[in-house]
Amino acid sequence: MRKRSVLPGFGLTLGITVCYVSLVVLLPVSAMVARSTSGGLSGFWAAALSPRALASYRLTLTASLVAASVNAVFGLIVAWVLARYRFPLRRVADALVDLPFALPTAVAGIALTTLYAPTGWIGKPLAAIGIKVAYTPIGITVALTFIGLPFVVRTLQPVIGALDADVEEAAASLGARPWQTFLRVVAPAIIPAWLTGFTLAFARALGEYGSVVFIAGNMPMRTEIAPLLVMTRLEQYDYSGATAIAVLMLGASFVMLLAVNGLQSWSARRSA
């Protein structure tokens, strides 16, 4: 029942895709799942749902969500400015956006900690008005915001750059004020890319470890993120405990990414 398609190579490319994804993604994940239940199901749940683990999930999720949301707002503005306007040093600003990609995360963590510590450039004035950033959940959010920015900017920038100017001119000539043009004409066109950027930033934040551990303080129950808890368990040779937490995180992330992807394709269909 094979139909000839104009685009050749379906069988071959699908085969490669399945093999590659299995080898690179599915195999390690299944090994992890297998390892996590080596202590029996009750051991799995005990490790995965211990109060300390639950606290770390809550922290990781909220900090990642807040960071991704902050990036969604400011990343949109940055992408808009970079795509729309020509100004001196635009290329420099453009390159700066990629820095969180390129920087070793530990370096970023140390830099942020130095800045936000109670003796740092930003931490000192903030401490004076009673706001503590380093070694608190706020500090974790700052680090996650830092590493997530490029994802939002880089997904939105080409889409904003490709918007037709005449569509906005049409809206304006029909009497729409700038905010109406943005909400009714521009926003529907960029929402799919925006959601993608948000998802990527969020996913990256969930798994981020290197830049957070320095600024977090890592106090169990208060400023300990889930990836760090996994590391701690590993250092204690509690492999099944570590993998149990990892599996739960993985499952939760996967469900959330799936949901956002669904939302995104729904909005892409609407604005097609």
Task: State in angstroms the smallest separation of the CB of 177 from another protein.
Answer: 7
Of the pair 74, 182, the CB lying nearest another protein is at 182
Q: Please name the residue that has the structure tokens 């370096």.
A: 107
Of the pair 46, 176, the CB lying nearest another protein is at 176
Report which residue type is found at 170.
A
Sign of CA dihedral 55, 60, 65, 71: positive
Residue 52: Cβ within 10 Å count: 14
Burial of 176 (0-12, 13-18, 19+ CB in 10 A): middle
Burial of 122 (0-12, 13-18, 19+ CB in 10 A): middle
**Chain residues that interact with another protein, rule: CB under 8 A:** 164, 166-167, 169-177, 180, 184-185, 188-189, 270-272
For residue 67, give the nearest of 149, 153, 154, 155 by alpha carbon: 149
Task: State in angstroms the smallest separation of the CB of 163 from another protein.
Answer: 11
Of the pair 25, 187, the CB lying nearest another protein is at 187
Of the pair 73, 167, the CB lying nearest another protein is at 167
For residue 246, give the nearest of 228, 230, 224, 223 by alpha carbon: 230
CA atoms of 202 and 210, how far apart (whole Å): 16
Of the pair 176, 256, the CB lying nearest another protein is at 176
Task: State in angstroms the smallest separation of the CB of 137 from another protein.
Answer: 38
Task: State in angstroms the smallest separation of the CB of 20 from another protein.
Answer: 34
Task: State in angstroms the smallest separation of the CB of 184 from another protein.
Answer: 7
51-84 helix and 239-270 helix, angle to the nearest 10 degrees? 40
Of the pair 10, 266, the CB lying nearest another protein is at 266
End-to-end CA distance of the chain: 31
Task: State in angstroms the smallest separation of the CB of 246 from another protein.
Answer: 40
CB 148 within 8 A of CB 212: no
